[in-house]
Amino acid sequence: MLTTKSAVILFFGMLLGVLLSVGGSVFAERDSLKASVGNHSDAPVETVTLPYQELRMFTEVFGRIKRDYVEAVSDKKLLEDAIKGMLAGLDPHSSYLDAEQYKGLKEGTTGQFGGLGIEVTMENGFVKVVSPIDDTPAQRAGMKAGDLIVRLDEKPVKGMSLADAVKIMRGNPGDDILLTVIREGADAPLKITITRAIIKVKSVKNRMLAPGYGYVRISSFQSRTGQGVIDAVNKLKAENGRELKGLVLDLRNNPGGVLNAAVEVSDAFLEKGLIVYTEGRIKNSKMRFNAAPGDVVNGMPIVVLINAGSASASEIVAGALQDHHRAIIMGEKSFGKGSVQTILPTGSDAAVKLTTARYYTPSGRSIQAEGINPDVLLARVKLESLEAVAFKPVKEADLSHHLENGDGEKQEQQELQEDVNKEGLDLRDYPLHQALTLLKGLSILSQ
């Protein structure tokens, strides 16, 4: 039987090992930041005074569990659970990553991983969908930003950690999972079955909306997204045969991703000035990112689309372009994730994801829990209520009991649909239709 004295000795020995492991990782992370950002002197190491009274209480509980719990529990599990609890109590984005979760995180930043295809966080003990990722099982199944997942295969989410919930959702490709979802406006919980798959995220897509007007969609910010945006714009220019008249940059339901990618995308449209800066307690968490000369669309008008699913890196881009008056932001208020997480490897292929800073837009706005307010606010429109002729003005032919005119009416509707297809617009996408209309107006004014 483990005595209290033995528990104290055991705990302090393990605690020392953990502190040494994490401490070494912190210094390595600082060195990598210094190399990537610029000249910074090493931050002074703060002397940590151990709270002996609280640690004594911890070891007493540790000893009680080892001695009295109904089943034997390993030291490793107890200490890992204690670390998880410490991090989970800080904020929704700090967490302990075991070897499998750490591997999944690294796969996610490179654009390929297994699972459902949704970015999630925790809210009031439930899993909240930040946004579904484009062209993934979750999006095709109808998951939406803001959905609360309350059950996974009939297993209640309440009481789970976010890491545990994500682990269940990942599973094996080809297997189904049943999600019970609470959605704002729905009368009852929804049952949504999704088939897991290998998620290959193509973060940048492009197409022409109309002659002279391009469209670039960023679904997430990965390590190669910045170059992907430049390549996409150059393809649009080549397809158009000359410089673009304007561009729609679509960041809706983009959950964010790599900070450097957000900086590169912003830099692609800015000639100079501050893009984003971060502030934290340690010196090397205070970083500033500035634009280099060169605008990939040569000053042409830009409209950026955002919604409640636009988070983190998406908000950095929207905030930078808004503060520099380089683009008009249109849509809904964004998600409001303005914190920076640093990955600190701890050995044994595990890591700690720790919130180390807040980021600020060039004008000094912190968007943490606030979000980006669009310049042009668009109310949500129920897509199911919009027919294929949703934006056609009311005419005689729309009136009840109107006098028929042979084939002429049918021909008019067909011509309208052909015009829509030429512009590449889905009329049910109200925000995109409005963005193109605004872009055309801006182009006329600029001329």
In the numeric block, which tokens belong to residue 114?
Answer: 């297994």
DSSP string, 276-312: EEEE-SSGGG-EEEEPPS--TTTT--EEEEE-TT--T
CA 368-370-372 angle, 5° bins: 100
Collapsing DSSP to helix, strand or coil, 366 comes out as strand
Q: Which residue out of 310, 312, 334, 339 is catalytically annotated?
A: 312
First to last CA, the chain: 84
DSSP state of 178: E
Is 312 annotated in the active site?
yes
Residues 170 and 147: beta-carbon distance below 8 Å: no
CA 173-162-187 angle, 5° bins: 85
What are the residues facing 132 on neighbouring strands? 118
> How far is Cα 356 from Cα 413, in angstroms, rounded to an integer?
57
Write phi, then psi, for 27 (nearest 5 degrees): -65, -40
Residues ≥6 apart with Cβ < 8 Å to 403: none
Write phi, then psi, for 296 (nearest 5 degrees): -65, -20
Residues 167 and 153: beta-carbon distance below 8 Å: no
Name residue, tokens 């682990």. Answer: 167
Burial grade of 214 (CB within 10 A; 0-12, 13-18, 19 or more): buried
What are the residues facing 151 on neighbouring strands? 156, 180
Q: Which residue out of 323, 334, 339, 353 is catalytically annotated?
A: 323
Is 334 annotated in the active site?
no
Taken as a whole, the chain contains a residue count of 447
CA-closest candidate to residue 7, choices 114, 71, 79: 79
Residues 291 and 275: beta-carbon distance below 8 Å: yes
DSSP string, 342-357: EEEEEETTEEEEEEEE
DSSP state of 396: G
Residues ≥6 apart with Cβ < 8 Å to 90: 354, 355
Collapsing DSSP to helix, strand or coil, 216 comes out as strand
Q: Which residue out of 144, 337, 339, 353 is catalytically annotated?
A: 337
In the numeric block, which tokens belong to residue 255?
Answer: 């959950």
Is 337 annotated in the active site?
yes
> How far is Cα 380 from Cα 384, in angstroms, rounded to an integer?
12
Q: Which residues are catalytic?
A: 312, 323, 337
